Amino acid sequence: MELAIFSQAIGEYLRPKRVLPWLVLGGICAVLAFYWRTLQPRTLPVEQYATVSSMLVFRIVALASAIFTTAIISQEVEQRTIVYLLTRPVPRWKLILIRYLASVIVVGVLGIIGALLTSLGAFRGMGGNPLLAKDLQALMMGAFAYGALFLFVSLIFNRAMLWCLIFAFGWETAVPNMPGSMNNLSILTYMQAIAEHPATQDQSKVVELAGALGTNVISADRAWGILIGLVVVMLALSAWWFTHFEYVPREDAE
């Protein structure tokens, strides 16, 4: 039963017309990384990779999470197929967690493909990228964290995707650059702490625009801990909420 839910969700998310735009985006990252040297001749491949990765690939994960995670429940409610899922002998918490897992895997894999393509573009090949391993971990953890947060948002708000997008691009762009400890309120900050990108030369403006890349002082261990904590709390809240509240398409209500 669990496998059926998981494979159905994966099948839904991996439909070609859904995945293709993300692969195109990954391709754009690769092309950008490849031509970065033309635009900025004095940068090293590792800097090219780090800039494009934090500017675009990390954002792809946030954007993909906003889109795929809201599909876990909001889309089912919107297309009114939720009724088929909720009248089956599957505990609601299990249903939501399995579908969450499927979405996280898809988002994570899309992020990883983006990172690999970017690395390919920057290094003109698959080898020699010292940042890649940690980036992949950061992207996967980011997929879990954004997914858990957005899942909860999608359960409690109408127009969840809009709120998730505002968070992913408004909040996550502004907050990492805020003074004091405000940047602790951003998932991107922790992803960057896990990725441990080196500060790119002394280009303070560049660093700022990229979202505090390499400047935060959070240790990787602490970042892992906080993101895992966030995931656990958000998933527990989501499971509880989804188990206790009604999810019936509103226009159906008499």
Partner 1 sequence: MASPIADLTYRNYDGPLEPPLYRWWAIAKASMRLSIKKKGIYPLAFLSACWYLLLLIVFYFIDMAAQGVPLGQKNPILQQIIWKDQFLNAFGVSQLALFIIALLIGVGAIANDNRANALLVYLSKPVTRLDYLIGKWLGIFVPITLIVGVPMLVFFGYCTMSYQDYGFLTEDPRLFFKLLLLMLVPGFFHASVALGISSMFNQGRLAGAAYAGLYFMTYFFSGAMKIVHIASSEDGGTTPPIVKTLFYCSIDGLQIALGKLILGTDGSDPFSFAQAGPGRRGPNISVIPAPNPTLFIGAFFAICILSMFIAWTRIRAVEVVA
Partner 2 sequence: MDQNPSRRGGRLINLENVSRWYGQVIGLNDVTCQIGPGLTALLGMNGAGKSTLMRLISGQLRPTTGSLTIFDMSPFGNPEVYRRLGYCPEIDNFYEHYSGRAFVNFLGRLDGLSKTESKTRTEEVLQMVGMADRADKRIAGYSKGMRQRIKLAQAMIHNPEIILLDEPLNGLDPVGRREFIDILAYLAEQGKTILVSSHILFEVEQMTRSILLLHRGRLMASGDLRVIRSLIDKHPHQVRIETDEPRRAAVLLSGLPNVVSMRFERTGTALQLEVREPDEFYDRLADIVLQDGLKVTGFTSPDNNLESVFKYLVGG
Nearer to partner 2, 79 or 204 (CB): 79
Q: How far is the CB of 210 from partner 1 (least distance, A)?
A: 7
To the nearest whole angstrom, how small is the minimum distance from the Cβ of residue 62 to partner 1? 9
Phi-psi region of 44 (alpha: psi -120 to 50; beta: other; left: phi over 0): beta
Q: Which residues bind partner 2 (CB under 8 A)?
A: 1, 3-5, 8, 12, 15, 79-81, 83-92, 243, 246-249, 252-254
Please tell me what DSSP assigns to residue 14. T
Of 164, 216, 172, 168, nearest to 194 (Cα)?
Answer: 216
Q: How far is the CB of 159 from partner 2 (least distance, A)?
A: 19
Question: Among 200, 224, 222, which residue's Cα sits nearest to residue 211?
Answer: 200
Give the Cα separation of 49 and 61 in Å (integer). Answer: 16
- Summarize as ranges the residues that interact with partner 1 (CB under 8 A): 21, 25, 28, 32, 36, 38-40, 42, 51-52, 55-56, 59-60, 63, 66-67, 70, 74-75, 78-79, 159, 161-162, 165-166, 168-170, 203, 205-206, 209-210
Of 162 and 232, which has the nearer Cβ to partner 1?
A: 162
Kindly list the distances between the CA atom of residue 135 and the CA atoms of 224, 233, 251, in Å, as whole numbers in the listed order: 13, 24, 44
Q: Which structure tokens are listed for 3?
A: 């496998």
Closer to partner 2 by Cβ: residue 59 or 99: 99
Rounded CA-CA distance 144/139 in Å is 9
The one of partner 2, partner 1, none whose footprint includes residue 77, by CB under 5 to 8 A per kind, is none
Which one, 19 or 86, has the nearer CB to partner 2? 86
Closer residue to partner 2 in complex, CB, 202/252: 252
Could you count the other beta carbons within 10 Å of the beta carbon of residue 82?
18
Shortest CB 72 distance to partner 2, Å = 15
The nearest distance, CB 32 to partner 1, in angstroms, is: 7
The helix/strand/coil state of 123 is helix
